[in-house]
Amino acid sequence: MALRRPGALMRAVVQRVSQASVSVGGAVVGEIGAGVLVLICAMRGDGVAEADKMAGKVARLRIFRDAAGRMNRSLADTGGAALVVSQFTLAADMRSGNRPGFSAAAEPDEGARLYQRFAEALAGADVPVAMGQFGADMAVALVNDGPVTIWIEV
């Protein structure tokens, strides 16, 4: 396993949705009703521990309304699902110029492995999981609920 580079953190953007789907070549490969869309990016130096920690954070993230209308419930509390989509562009480095650099993203083989591990860990937390296709040109459709969008790094 590669040494963890300071500042390298697995990243996710989590959006609360009333529905979401992902298509490849015009065919739907994953879809959910109410729950979350998770755009996930493994960074260089990330490993199984980060994937598992991120899955736990997402599963327990309290962004769903309770009876009083406050964001106080998790996916487990609501029975919601997760649509997990790989998103290496979350590694974008914009410190110099206007063209993003992606060298902080995990290598493709490692990224694919950690993407799969994250999805498996999320499913292991009793969250129904649908997935995109790693490395594919995907079309993601969603109805953002709220909107609620959360950035997480672990």
- Distance between CA 9 and CA 5 in Å, rounded? 9
Strand pairing class (129-131; 81-86): parallel
Residue of 123, 152, 105 whose CA lies nearest to 32: 123
Residue 88 annotated in active site: yes
Q: Which residue has the tokens 């609920």?
A: 145
Residue 89 annotated in active site: yes
pLDDT along the chain (154 residues), means of 10: 60 98 98 98 96 98 97 96 97 93 95 98 98 97 97 96
pTM more than 0.85: yes
Catalytic residue among 64, 88, 118, 134: 88
Where are the domains positioned within the chain? 11-153
Residue 78 annotated in active site: no
Catalytic residue among 15, 64, 87, 118: 87
- Distance between CA 93 and CA 140 in Å, rounded? 23
* CATH superfamily of this structure's domain 11-153: D-tyrosyl-tRNA(Tyr) deacylase (3.50.80.10)
